Amino acid sequence: MLFERLILYLLSYIENQRTTSSIYHILKGKKSAQTIQDSLLFKLGPYLGILPKLSKEEFDYCIDRLISKGLLLNSGELTYLTEEAHKLNKEEQWFTNLYFNGEEYSQIALPFYRKLQLLLQSTSHLIKGHHHFLPVSDNDEVQRDVKNVLKESGLLSNNGEALYQELHQLFQLVDEKRANLMMMSFTGADQVGLSISQIASEFNQPDRIVQLHIISTVHLWIEFILNNDQNFPICYKFLMNRNETSLTHSAQVTFEKVNQGYTVEQIAYIRNLKRSTIEDHIVEIATKDQAFKIDEYVSGHVFSLIEKATNHLTTKRLKLIKEQLPEDVTYFQIRLTLARLGAEHHKQEVQDGQSF
């Protein structure tokens, strides 16, 4: 029931506007313009991509349970919560104090966490003089970055004192129970780390809840390290050189090709990807990069048509918008326009301090 309560809470954001699966896509961090836009429009950015491996079956099961408990109406299309659900959502819950910043950190949280785990394992073995051990991560990027950090002198001096101090600070950011939980996932020369489901059974909690506590802690750590980078010279190394725009890797490649002057068709051909995938990338770029010019894809005329239709309808549902427009206006153009409008609304909203 614990995980369902989080879903119920998130559903209230999109009530009346989207189907339940939009929340699924947000949690999973689906790399589609629609999902990225939804996360902006409904202010669900903190939850974007926090559960990249969530299965549709598990999500649907939660939805079914919410319906059978009378918290959600089985309306077929859009999402409607019952009175009781709204009441429940106002209560304090297990996730009320969990910090998430999926929009900013979902892409980097797991790699950062894996690098930190491997760095700790390596340090632990090396200060004990073990030079051969099996690394807890197989991932090439993780291994390379950890090796690079290890190579920089001084880390191992004084039994890894500097790293010890950084970690000590990080663990003190969370309450003791969460610190204990987090620590169990780390491997050292003394003990192999526990998997999430093993930690869950130690704490007698569902796997999902433990996982969300870990993710939240990692987001919090990243935030803290970025804000206090001079206090975390080692950990900060894993967070440097992030793409400013935090584009997905594949969208980044598309972005480079666009800048070289290739058309959507050409990029699709070169990269052996579907046209729709490239379009998704471009919408993602437009959503995240305000300097990106969409004129090539949406003429000024079409842009204002779409804008008008959107204002007229006060809805963000693509299908309804499309129905209002001449047939040759594509979904791609609507999404691109919404990306621009959404971001502008978003900007304005931040300035005015008002919500939609």
The first and second tokens of residue 221, run together, are 């750590």
Note whether 195 binds another protein by CB under 8 A. Answer: yes
3 state SS of 73: strand
Closest CB to another protein among 207 and 289?
Answer: 207
Note whether 196 binds another protein by CB under 8 A. Answer: yes
Backbone phi, psi, residue 107, to 5°: -70, -30
CA pseudo-torsion sign 64, 207, 21, 344: positive
CA pseudo-torsion sign 146, 147, 150, 151: negative
Phi-psi category of residue 248: left, alpha or beta, with phi > 0 → left and psi -120 to 50 → alpha: beta
Closest CB to another protein among 134 and 291?
Answer: 134
Note whether 186 binds another protein by CB under 8 A. Answer: yes
Closest CB to another protein among 10 and 127?
Answer: 127
- Please give the size of the binding site for another protein, defined by CB under 8 A: 44
Note whether 127 binds another protein by CB under 8 A. Answer: yes
Closest CB to another protein among 151 and 168?
Answer: 168
Query: Binders of another protein among 76-115, rule CB under 8 A?
Result: 114
**Packing angle, helices 331-352 and 33-41, rounded to 10:** 20
Note whether 41 binds another protein by CB under 8 A. Answer: no
CA pseudo-torsion sign 272, 247, 225, 27: negative
Binding mask 131-150 for another protein (x = CB under 8 A): xxxxxxxx-x----------
Q: Which residues bind another protein (CB under 8 A)?
A: 53, 114, 120, 123-124, 127-128, 131-138, 140, 159-160, 163-164, 167-168, 171, 176, 179-180, 182-184, 186-198, 201-202
